[in-house]
Structure 1
Amino acid sequence: MNRLHSAWQRLFFNATATSPDPLAAPPLLDADGRCRALLLELARPADWQLLGAVWRGVQTELGLPAPAIAVNGEDGFQLWFSLAEPVAAAEGQVLLQALCRRFLPAELAPGRLRLWPSADKAQAPRLPPFELKTGGECWAAFVAPDLAPVFADSPWLDVPPGDEGQADLLARLQPLGAEPLRQAREALLASPAAAASEPPASAPTSSAAAASTWSEPRAFLLAVMNDASQPMQLRIEAAKALLPFSSAAG
């Protein structure tokens, strides 16, 4: 295992996730559907000014560690969020959607966003660096914050990025701890943008009303499952994530 693989392991992989190929990267979702990596991608076209607002906002407004920045090798930028502890996929989905509501314009075309984990069971993304063939060799790669604007017109590298350089970029990053994650989640879903998308105050299980009780994952997932303002697929995913709790209670 080289330094880049060690950096991936530290930031994005679950200790319980395994791969049948010992030389391949472990899957980003473990057997229980939990993950330590969250992806927010803006593409078609790449726009660092918009995605940079998310990168800066999570640090300045929410006090969170900086996510990793990557070019996807084709048409967009990515933010990779590292979590210190794995969360259910449904919990990751809600956090990403809340970040988009807080920091991205509402009129943004939905087709430009890719969120993972996603409610539509999208295939797990690959961690940069990797090569794409689009009329030539184009590489996805992690990039430094001060260089991100340089890739606005060509969000790829023309040459393979070095593993050592990629490892150096990731070495500066820290995972998001469980308590800061909880605080950020509550702040996001209590914001005016989130409140505008929630049901009226008379609804018995609105996200805003539940926010103050989210001291642990089960309460959070219950709030999502019972929130009529959330997409049905997302509520189903939250219900599935709660199944182990129900089994344990029985």
Structure 2
Amino acid sequence: MNRLDTELQRLYLPPQPACQAQPATPTGSAQHASPALIDADGQVRALVLELASAAGGEAVAALWQGLQNELELPAPAIAISGAGYQVWLSLSEPIPVAQAREFLESLRQRLLAGIAPRHVQLLPGLPSGTTDAAEAPDTPDIPGTSVPASHVRLIPAQLDESGRWSAFISPHLAAMFADEPWLDMEPSPDAQADLLLGLKSMAPADFQRAWQQLAPAKAVSIFAAPPAPAALAGQAAATGKQPDLENSPDAQANTATGPQEPRTASAAEQDPRRFLLAVMNDPSVEMGLRIEAAKALLPYSAPHAFTR
């Protein structure tokens, strides 16, 4: 990979196995970058707001400054796309497409409220036939399936047979491209890499904090802590169905080594993880509680991208 490939990988491309790694920059005008920007699980690190030329360079400047001054987020990259401007935000950890869309919509409403929605495109795009994030299916948007998601082409890229190119530009030069948002020749890869070199990705904590500022109710629903074991126990008691802790796999493993001393609570009840496993594996507990237990077990099995 050249320096530009390295910067694009660092900022925008999802992690991929070394055996699948390939140059990030396009090699032809027909090549589309969507598969590179959306991973196999339907998640993205690159969030892009595309503003039509009619929106004006002032709107781009206001968005660029608002992200840093109002939301205290890292500076985004600015690009010209042939049809207008693109503002590229980078996440250090990938998020689902639908979640990315909701965050971008919150940004649009806060920082681009004076711009007609028809002049602003949010990318990644929604699956075919949907018009807003609320209509997106619950399953991830995975390229190559019946629920495809779309994204922008990686930059720089040749736009058409005229020889025009998209490119990253200095934010301070955006106004110069208001009438002609493209380059007439291929930009230097090293110069493009230099424009990206000083940019940083948005940390999960910063993403969560910014979303709480933009849309508190939505952020609470997304980042709410999983139910505590005590809460699950209370819910089970309310239904009159208690998990069979004594016969759970973990409890049986503990008793297999021999008799135990008298106790007031089983080992499974005293250990949150074992309690949750018992709830999840007990067929006598209603399915809703078993699902909640499975969700609550996630922090015990793998780190969450957006937990504090």
Distance 2:189 2:293 in 1: 44
Q: Secondary structure at the match of 1:249?
A: helix
SS in 2 for 1:154: coil
State the Cα deviation string for residues 189-244 of structure 1 (Å, max 9, x = none): 14xxxxxxxxxxxxxxxxx2x5446546989xxxxxxxxxxxxxxxxxxxxxxxxx
Rounded to whole Å, the distance in 2 between the matches of 1:92 and 1:218 is 21
Q: Is the 8 A contact 1:17 1:31 kept in 2?
A: no
Q: TM-score, normalised by structure 1?
A: 0.73
Question: How far is the alpha carbon of 1:39 from its aligned partner?
Answer: 0.8
Contact 1:17 1:29 in 2 (8 A): no
Range with bigger deviation, 92-101 or 119-128: 119-128
Contact 1:46–1:75 under 8 Å retained in 2: no
For 1:5, the aligned partner's letter is: D
Unaligned runs of 5+ in 1: 191-207, 220-245
C-alpha distance in structure 1 between counterparts of 2:41 and 2:201, whole Å:
21
1:149 to 175, 195, 198: 175
Q: Does 1:27 align with 2:24?
A: no
Matched residues in 1 for 2:18 and 2:186: separation?
27
Q: Is the 8 A contact 2:50 2:85 kept in 1?
A: yes
Aligned to 1:53: 62
Which consecutive unaligned segments of at least 5 residues does structure 2 have? 26-34, 129-148, 228-290, 296-308
2:71 is matched with: 62
Q: Counterparts of 1:63-102 in structure 2 under 5 Å?
A: 63-72=72-81, 74-102=82-110
Deviation, structure 1 residue 90 = 1.2
Alpha-carbon deviation of 1:119?
Answer: 2.4
SS class of match (2:211)? helix
Q: Go from structure 1 to structure 2 and tell me whether the alpha carbon gap of 1:217 and 1:49 turns closer, same or farther (over 3 Å shift).
A: farther
Matches within 5 A, 1:82-161: 82-106=90-114, 108-121=115-128, 123-133=150-160, 136-161=162-187
Q: Which moved more, 1:114-123 or 1:50-59?
A: 114-123
**What root-mean-square deviation, in Å, do the aligned CA atoms of Structure 1 and Structure 2 show?**
2.7
1:169 deviation in Å? Answer: 0.3
Counterparts of 1:112 and 1:17, CA distance in 2 = 37
Q: Please list, as runs of the form range in 1=range in 2, the aligned pairs for 1:231-250 lying within 5 A after superposition.
A: 249=294
Q: Which has the higher strand share?
A: 1
Q: C-alpha separation between the residues in 1 aligned to 2:151 and 2:93?
A: 18
Q: 1:46, 1:153 within 8 Å by CA — same for their partners in 2?
A: no
CA contact (8 A) 2:106 2:215 kept: yes
- C-alpha change, 1:55 and 1:20, in structure 2 (3 Å) is same
